[in-house]
Structure 1
Amino acid sequence: MKIEVWQGDITTLAVDAIVNAANESLLGGGGVDGAIHRAAGPQLLAECAALPEIRPGMRCPTGEVRATAGYLLPAKHVLHTVGPVWQDGQRDEPALLANCYWKSLQLAEQMGLRSIAFPAISCGVFGYPLHQAARIAATETLAWQRSHREPQRIILVAYNAATFKAYHQALVESGQPLDLPATA
Protein backbone atom coordinates (compact mmCIF):
# COMPACT_ATOMS: atom_id res chain seq x y z
CA MET A 1 0.00 0.00 0.00
CA LYS A 2 1.10 3.55 -0.72
CA ILE A 3 0.03 6.89 0.60
CA GLU A 4 -1.76 8.70 -2.22
CA VAL A 5 -1.38 12.38 -3.05
CA TRP A 6 -4.32 13.98 -4.79
CA GLN A 7 -4.85 17.60 -5.81
CA GLY A 8 -8.39 18.91 -5.68
CA ASP A 9 -11.36 19.65 -3.45
CA ILE A 10 -11.48 17.33 -0.42
CA THR A 11 -15.25 17.79 -0.19
CA THR A 12 -15.71 15.87 -3.47
CA LEU A 13 -13.99 12.65 -2.38
CA ALA A 14 -16.13 9.53 -1.92
CA VAL A 15 -14.17 8.01 0.96
CA ASP A 16 -15.19 6.66 4.34
CA ALA A 17 -13.91 9.80 6.08
CA ILE A 18 -12.42 13.16 5.31
CA VAL A 19 -10.47 14.99 7.97
CA ASN A 20 -11.46 18.54 8.78
CA ALA A 21 -8.76 20.99 9.87
CA ALA A 22 -11.07 22.52 12.46
CA ASN A 23 -10.90 25.06 15.24
CA GLU A 24 -11.56 24.16 18.89
CA SER A 25 -15.24 25.14 18.75
CA LEU A 26 -15.94 22.78 15.79
CA LEU A 27 -18.54 25.32 14.62
CA GLY A 28 -16.97 26.09 11.25
CA GLY A 29 -14.48 28.65 10.13
CA GLY A 30 -12.50 29.56 7.06
CA GLY A 31 -10.47 27.51 4.62
CA VAL A 32 -11.09 23.78 4.48
CA ASP A 33 -13.22 23.96 7.65
CA GLY A 34 -15.65 26.38 6.06
CA ALA A 35 -15.68 24.45 2.79
CA ILE A 36 -16.53 21.19 4.59
CA HIS A 37 -19.30 22.82 6.61
CA ARG A 38 -20.81 24.43 3.49
CA ALA A 39 -20.68 21.20 1.48
CA ALA A 40 -22.03 19.00 4.29
CA GLY A 41 -25.02 21.22 4.99
CA PRO A 42 -26.52 22.58 8.23
CA GLN A 43 -26.83 19.14 9.84
CA LEU A 44 -23.05 19.06 10.30
CA LEU A 45 -23.09 22.30 12.25
CA ALA A 46 -25.99 21.02 14.36
CA GLU A 47 -24.15 17.79 15.22
CA CYS A 48 -20.96 19.68 16.04
CA ALA A 49 -22.87 22.10 18.27
CA ALA A 50 -24.36 19.12 20.13
CA LEU A 51 -20.92 17.72 21.01
CA PRO A 52 -20.02 18.35 24.66
CA GLU A 53 -17.86 21.32 25.47
CA ILE A 54 -14.71 20.64 27.47
CA ARG A 55 -14.77 24.28 28.50
CA PRO A 56 -16.76 27.18 27.04
CA GLY A 57 -16.20 27.31 23.29
CA MET A 58 -13.98 24.20 23.18
CA ARG A 59 -15.31 20.88 21.92
CA CYS A 60 -11.96 19.53 20.71
CA PRO A 61 -8.53 20.45 22.07
CA THR A 62 -5.50 20.87 19.81
CA GLY A 63 -4.12 17.52 18.67
CA GLU A 64 -7.37 15.65 19.34
CA VAL A 65 -10.14 14.41 17.02
CA ARG A 66 -13.95 14.12 17.05
CA ALA A 67 -16.18 12.25 14.57
CA THR A 68 -19.45 13.27 12.94
CA ALA A 69 -21.52 12.08 10.01
CA GLY A 70 -20.74 13.42 6.53
CA TYR A 71 -24.32 14.45 5.71
CA LEU A 72 -24.40 15.92 2.17
CA LEU A 73 -20.74 15.07 1.50
CA PRO A 74 -19.80 12.00 -0.56
CA ALA A 75 -17.68 11.00 2.49
CA LYS A 76 -19.57 9.01 5.10
CA HIS A 77 -17.86 10.69 8.06
CA VAL A 78 -15.95 13.82 8.98
CA LEU A 79 -13.13 13.50 11.50
CA HIS A 80 -12.54 16.95 12.98
CA THR A 81 -9.05 17.61 14.28
CA VAL A 82 -7.55 20.80 15.63
CA GLY A 83 -4.03 21.47 14.46
CA PRO A 84 -1.58 23.72 16.27
CA VAL A 85 -1.16 27.39 15.50
CA TRP A 86 2.45 27.91 14.37
CA GLN A 87 4.50 30.05 16.70
CA ASP A 88 8.14 29.08 16.33
CA GLY A 89 8.17 25.27 16.30
CA GLN A 90 9.47 25.15 19.86
CA ARG A 91 6.11 24.98 21.65
CA ASP A 92 5.04 21.38 20.90
CA GLU A 93 3.67 22.27 17.45
CA PRO A 94 5.33 19.25 15.73
CA ALA A 95 4.06 16.78 18.35
CA LEU A 96 0.57 18.28 18.28
CA LEU A 97 0.42 18.15 14.48
CA ALA A 98 1.65 14.53 14.53
CA ASN A 99 -1.15 13.74 17.01
CA CYS A 100 -3.72 15.12 14.56
CA TYR A 101 -2.70 12.52 11.98
CA TRP A 102 -2.12 9.63 14.37
CA LYS A 103 -5.30 10.11 16.39
CA SER A 104 -7.39 10.56 13.22
CA LEU A 105 -6.01 7.28 11.88
CA GLN A 106 -6.56 5.61 15.25
CA LEU A 107 -10.20 6.73 15.35
CA ALA A 108 -10.70 5.65 11.73
CA GLU A 109 -9.38 2.19 12.62
CA GLN A 110 -11.65 1.99 15.68
CA MET A 111 -14.63 2.93 13.48
CA GLY A 112 -13.70 0.26 10.91
CA LEU A 113 -13.09 2.80 8.14
CA ARG A 114 -11.14 1.66 5.08
CA SER A 115 -10.36 5.03 3.45
CA ILE A 116 -9.46 8.46 4.78
CA ALA A 117 -8.41 11.77 3.21
CA PHE A 118 -6.40 14.47 4.98
CA PRO A 119 -6.08 18.16 4.10
CA ALA A 120 -2.89 20.08 4.87
CA ILE A 121 -3.66 20.48 8.58
CA SER A 122 -2.58 23.82 10.13
CA CYS A 123 -1.15 25.15 6.83
CA GLY A 124 -3.80 27.82 6.25
CA VAL A 125 -4.58 30.54 8.76
CA PHE A 126 -2.79 28.57 11.51
CA GLY A 127 0.47 29.37 9.66
CA TYR A 128 2.34 26.06 9.88
CA PRO A 129 5.22 26.04 7.36
CA LEU A 130 4.08 23.87 4.45
CA HIS A 131 7.19 21.74 3.96
CA GLN A 132 7.53 21.00 7.68
CA ALA A 133 3.85 20.06 7.91
CA ALA A 134 4.13 17.85 4.80
CA ARG A 135 7.05 15.96 6.37
CA ILE A 136 4.99 15.32 9.50
CA ALA A 137 2.00 14.17 7.41
CA ALA A 138 4.22 11.79 5.41
CA THR A 139 6.05 10.45 8.47
CA GLU A 140 2.91 9.81 10.49
CA THR A 141 0.82 8.26 7.72
CA LEU A 142 3.65 6.02 6.52
CA ALA A 143 4.42 4.89 10.09
CA TRP A 144 0.74 4.12 10.62
CA GLN A 145 0.48 2.16 7.42
CA ARG A 146 3.53 0.04 8.30
CA SER A 147 2.00 -1.10 11.59
CA HIS A 148 -1.77 -1.17 10.94
CA ARG A 149 -4.11 -2.72 8.39
CA GLU A 150 -6.88 -0.10 8.46
CA PRO A 151 -7.56 2.30 6.96
CA GLN A 152 -6.19 0.69 3.82
CA ARG A 153 -6.38 3.83 1.70
CA ILE A 154 -4.81 7.07 2.96
CA ILE A 155 -4.96 10.17 0.77
CA LEU A 156 -3.10 13.42 1.35
CA VAL A 157 -5.18 16.08 -0.38
CA ALA A 158 -3.44 19.11 -1.80
CA TYR A 159 -5.54 22.21 -2.37
CA ASN A 160 -2.91 23.73 -4.69
CA ALA A 161 0.21 22.85 -6.69
CA ALA A 162 2.63 23.95 -3.95
CA THR A 163 1.01 21.61 -1.43
CA PHE A 164 0.95 18.79 -3.99
CA LYS A 165 4.69 19.23 -4.59
CA ALA A 166 5.45 19.43 -0.85
CA TYR A 167 3.59 16.17 -0.17
CA HIS A 168 5.38 14.39 -3.02
CA GLN A 169 8.77 15.64 -1.85
CA ALA A 170 8.06 14.59 1.75
CA LEU A 171 6.98 11.10 0.69
CA VAL A 172 10.04 10.64 -1.52
CA GLU A 173 12.28 11.79 1.36
CA SER A 174 10.53 9.24 3.58
CA GLY A 175 11.33 6.46 1.13
CA GLN A 176 8.00 5.95 -0.62
CA PRO A 177 8.30 5.46 -4.38
CA LEU A 178 5.76 7.51 -6.28
CA ASP A 179 3.62 6.78 -9.30
CA LEU A 180 2.52 9.43 -11.76
CA PRO A 181 0.94 12.44 -10.05
CA ALA A 182 -2.81 12.46 -9.51
CA THR A 183 -4.72 15.71 -9.85
CA ALA A 184 -8.36 16.65 -9.95
Structure 2
Amino acid sequence: MKRTLSGLIMECKIGNIAAQNGFDAVVNAANAWLRPGGGVAGAIHSAAGPGLLEECRPLAPIKPGEAVITGAHHLPNKFVIHCLGPVYEKDEFSGKVLANCYCNALKLAEEHKVKSIAFPLISTGVFGYPFKEGVQVAFTALKEMIPQLTFVRRVVFVVRDKSKLAVLNQELARFHF
Protein backbone atom coordinates (compact mmCIF):
# COMPACT_ATOMS: atom_id res chain seq x y z
CA MET A 1 0.00 0.00 0.00
CA LYS A 2 1.09 3.57 -0.76
CA ARG A 3 -0.12 6.90 0.55
CA THR A 4 1.01 10.40 -0.29
CA LEU A 5 0.96 12.76 2.67
CA SER A 6 1.97 16.40 2.29
CA GLY A 7 4.12 15.44 -0.70
CA LEU A 8 5.72 12.49 1.15
CA ILE A 9 5.22 9.05 -0.41
CA MET A 10 4.79 6.44 2.30
CA GLU A 11 4.57 2.74 1.56
CA CYS A 12 4.79 -0.69 3.15
CA LYS A 13 6.23 -3.83 1.56
CA ILE A 14 7.68 -7.29 2.09
CA GLY A 15 11.41 -7.60 1.53
CA ASN A 16 14.90 -7.74 2.91
CA ILE A 17 15.95 -4.44 4.50
CA ALA A 18 19.52 -5.10 3.32
CA ALA A 19 18.43 -5.28 -0.34
CA GLN A 20 16.52 -2.03 -0.81
CA ASN A 21 17.66 -0.75 -4.20
CA GLY A 22 16.56 2.76 -5.06
CA PHE A 23 16.72 4.16 -1.52
CA ASP A 24 19.35 6.65 -0.37
CA ALA A 25 19.37 5.20 3.15
CA VAL A 26 18.33 2.11 5.08
CA VAL A 27 17.80 2.00 8.82
CA ASN A 28 19.49 -0.60 10.98
CA ALA A 29 17.70 -1.80 14.12
CA ALA A 30 21.07 -1.80 15.87
CA ASN A 31 22.48 -2.94 19.18
CA ALA A 32 24.29 -0.49 21.46
CA TRP A 33 27.72 -1.47 20.13
CA LEU A 34 26.63 -1.23 16.45
CA ARG A 35 27.90 -4.75 15.85
CA PRO A 36 26.46 -7.54 13.71
CA GLY A 37 23.81 -9.57 15.46
CA GLY A 38 20.64 -11.37 14.55
CA GLY A 39 17.74 -10.01 12.58
CA VAL A 40 18.09 -6.64 10.88
CA ALA A 41 21.58 -5.87 12.25
CA GLY A 42 22.88 -9.23 11.09
CA ALA A 43 21.39 -8.86 7.61
CA ILE A 44 22.72 -5.33 7.15
CA HIS A 45 26.23 -6.06 8.41
CA SER A 46 26.45 -9.25 6.37
CA ALA A 47 25.41 -7.52 3.14
CA ALA A 48 27.47 -4.37 3.79
CA GLY A 49 30.71 -6.21 4.53
CA PRO A 50 33.39 -5.69 7.20
CA GLY A 51 33.92 -2.01 6.38
CA LEU A 52 30.61 -1.18 8.04
CA LEU A 53 31.73 -2.62 11.37
CA GLU A 54 35.01 -0.71 11.15
CA GLU A 55 33.17 2.55 10.52
CA CYS A 56 30.76 1.83 13.39
CA ARG A 57 33.39 1.11 16.06
CA PRO A 58 34.22 4.75 16.97
CA LEU A 59 30.51 5.68 17.05
CA ALA A 60 29.57 3.10 19.69
CA PRO A 61 28.07 2.73 22.14
CA ILE A 62 24.77 4.46 21.52
CA LYS A 63 21.82 4.74 23.90
CA PRO A 64 18.21 3.71 23.30
CA GLY A 65 16.50 6.27 21.07
CA GLU A 66 19.76 7.53 19.56
CA ALA A 67 20.73 7.31 15.91
CA VAL A 68 24.06 7.57 14.06
CA ILE A 69 24.82 7.50 10.34
CA THR A 70 27.50 5.70 8.32
CA GLY A 71 28.23 4.90 4.73
CA ALA A 72 26.49 1.85 3.29
CA HIS A 73 29.62 0.08 2.00
CA HIS A 74 28.45 -2.88 -0.16
CA LEU A 75 24.74 -2.19 0.28
CA PRO A 76 22.90 -0.65 -2.69
CA ASN A 77 22.38 2.57 -0.72
CA LYS A 78 24.44 5.61 0.19
CA PHE A 79 23.86 5.55 3.97
CA VAL A 80 22.93 3.31 6.89
CA ILE A 81 21.24 5.02 9.82
CA HIS A 82 21.68 2.94 12.98
CA CYS A 83 19.04 3.23 15.73
CA LEU A 84 18.97 1.51 19.09
CA GLY A 85 15.38 0.78 19.99
CA PRO A 86 14.05 0.08 23.47
CA VAL A 87 13.55 -3.34 24.97
CA TYR A 88 9.80 -3.57 25.58
CA GLU A 89 8.78 -3.41 29.26
CA LYS A 90 12.43 -3.17 30.31
CA ASP A 91 13.50 0.27 29.11
CA GLU A 92 11.67 3.11 30.81
CA PHE A 93 9.34 5.17 28.58
CA SER A 94 9.75 2.66 25.75
CA GLY A 95 7.10 4.33 23.54
CA LYS A 96 8.87 7.69 23.69
CA VAL A 97 12.26 6.07 23.17
CA LEU A 98 10.96 4.17 20.14
CA ALA A 99 9.48 7.37 18.68
CA ASN A 100 12.86 9.05 19.20
CA CYS A 101 14.48 6.36 17.03
CA TYR A 102 12.30 7.30 14.07
CA CYS A 103 12.56 11.05 14.67
CA ASN A 104 16.34 10.95 15.11
CA ALA A 105 16.75 8.80 12.00
CA LEU A 106 14.70 11.28 9.97
CA LYS A 107 16.67 14.22 11.37
CA LEU A 108 19.92 12.57 10.26
CA ALA A 109 18.36 11.86 6.87
CA GLU A 110 17.49 15.54 6.50
CA GLU A 111 21.00 16.63 7.54
CA HIS A 112 22.47 14.38 4.83
CA LYS A 113 19.91 15.37 2.17
CA VAL A 114 18.46 11.85 1.95
CA LYS A 115 15.46 11.75 -0.38
CA SER A 116 14.34 8.18 0.28
CA ILE A 117 14.66 5.94 3.33
CA ALA A 118 13.73 2.34 4.18
CA PHE A 119 12.85 1.43 7.77
CA PRO A 120 12.41 -1.89 9.54
CA LEU A 121 9.91 -1.90 12.42
CA ILE A 122 12.43 -1.10 15.16
CA SER A 123 12.25 -3.10 18.42
CA THR A 124 9.44 -5.39 17.19
CA GLY A 125 11.71 -8.44 16.89
CA VAL A 126 13.91 -9.74 19.69
CA PHE A 127 13.36 -6.55 21.71
CA GLY A 128 9.73 -7.65 22.14
CA TYR A 129 7.79 -4.53 21.22
CA PRO A 130 4.25 -5.58 20.17
CA PHE A 131 4.12 -5.23 16.39
CA LYS A 132 0.85 -3.28 16.03
CA GLU A 133 1.87 -0.85 18.79
CA GLY A 134 5.30 -0.46 17.18
CA VAL A 135 3.64 0.41 13.87
CA GLN A 136 1.46 3.02 15.58
CA VAL A 137 4.49 4.60 17.27
CA ALA A 138 6.37 4.68 13.93
CA PHE A 139 3.46 6.32 12.08
CA THR A 140 2.86 8.86 14.85
CA ALA A 141 6.56 9.81 14.87
CA LEU A 142 6.52 10.17 11.09
CA LYS A 143 3.41 12.35 11.29
CA GLU A 144 5.16 14.64 13.78
CA MET A 145 8.22 14.88 11.54
CA ILE A 146 6.49 15.57 8.21
CA PRO A 147 6.47 19.39 8.65
CA GLN A 148 10.25 19.29 9.22
CA LEU A 149 11.05 17.17 6.17
CA THR A 150 12.28 19.07 3.15
CA PHE A 151 14.59 16.49 1.55
CA VAL A 152 12.96 13.19 2.55
CA ARG A 153 10.19 12.54 0.01
CA ARG A 154 9.79 8.75 0.23
CA VAL A 155 9.58 6.44 3.26
CA VAL A 156 9.06 2.70 3.08
CA PHE A 157 8.52 0.25 5.93
CA VAL A 158 9.93 -3.18 5.13
CA VAL A 159 8.78 -6.41 6.79
CA ARG A 160 9.56 -10.07 6.16
CA ASP A 161 6.11 -11.68 6.05
CA LYS A 162 2.55 -11.25 4.78
CA SER A 163 0.89 -11.16 8.19
CA LYS A 164 3.01 -8.20 9.29
CA LEU A 165 2.46 -6.49 5.94
CA ALA A 166 -1.30 -6.86 6.46
CA VAL A 167 -1.06 -5.14 9.86
CA LEU A 168 1.10 -2.37 8.38
CA ASN A 169 -1.30 -1.76 5.51
CA GLN A 170 -4.32 -1.81 7.82
CA GLU A 171 -2.74 0.75 10.13
CA LEU A 172 -1.59 2.91 7.22
CA ALA A 173 -5.08 2.90 5.72
CA ARG A 174 -6.70 4.16 8.91
CA PHE A 175 -3.97 6.40 10.23
CA HIS A 176 -4.93 10.09 10.19
CA PHE A 177 -2.23 12.41 8.89
TM-score of the superposition, structure 2-length normalised?
A: 0.90
| Cα distance in 2 for residues equivalent to 1:35 and 1:11 | 6
Partner of 2:137: 136
State how far apart, in whole Å, the 1-side matches of 2:118 and 2:148 are. Answer: 19
- Is 1:74 matched up with 2:81? no
Cα offset for 1:146?
4.2
Q: Which residue of 1 aligns with 2:11?
A: 4
Give, as a single letter, the amino acid of the residue that structure 2 aligns with 1:35: A
Cα deviation code 1:62-111 (max 9, x no counterpart): 0000111100000111000000001178x301000000000100110011
Code of the residue aligned with 1:9 in structure 2: it is N
Indicate the residue corresponding to 1:118 in structure 2: 119
Q: 1:139 to 1:41 in 2, by over 3 A?
A: same
Runs of 4+ in 1 over 6 A off after TM superposition: none
Structure 2: how far apart are the matches of 1:39 and 1:83? 21
Residue 2 of structure 1 deviates from its aligned partner by: 3.0
Aligned to 2:4: none
Query: How much has 1:173 moved relative to structure 2?
Result: 2.4
One-letter code of the match for 2:77?
A
User: Which residue number corresponds to residue 49 of structure 2?
Assistant: 41
For residues 34-77 of structure 1, the C-alpha deviation after alignment (integer angstroms, 9 at most, x for no partner) is 000000001001111132x4xxxxx2110000111100000111
Match of 2:170 in 1: 169
Structure 2 residue ranges without an equivalent (≥5): 1-7
- Aligned residue pair count: 169
**Alignment of structure 1 residues 88-127 onto 2, 5 Å:** 91-127=92-128
Mapped partners of 1:136, 1:12: distance in 2: 25
Whether 1:22 aligns to 2:30 is yes
Deviation of 1:138 after TM superposition, in Å, equals: 1.4
Q: Distance in 2 between matches of 1:146 and 1:9?
A: 29
Letter in 2 for 1:76: K
In structure 2, what is the equivalent of residue 145 of structure 1?
146
Match of 1:84 in 2: 86
Distance in 2 between residues matched to 1:88 and 1:160, nearest whole Å: 26
Q: Which runs of 5+ in 1 are unaligned?
A: 54-58, 177-184
Map Cα deviations across residues 107-162 of structure 1 (whole Å, 9 max, x no partner): 10011111111001001110000000011111212332244222111111112112
Output the amino acid matched with 1:85.
V
Are the equivalent residues in 2 in contact too, given 1:6–1:164 (CA < 8 A)?
Answer: yes
For 1:2 and 1:116, locate their aligned partners in 2 and report how far apart those are by CA, in whole Å.
11
- Closer, same or farther: CA 41–88 of 1 in aligned 2, 3 Å: closer
Q: Percent identity?
A: 40
What is the TM-score with the length of structure 1 in the denominator?
A: 0.86
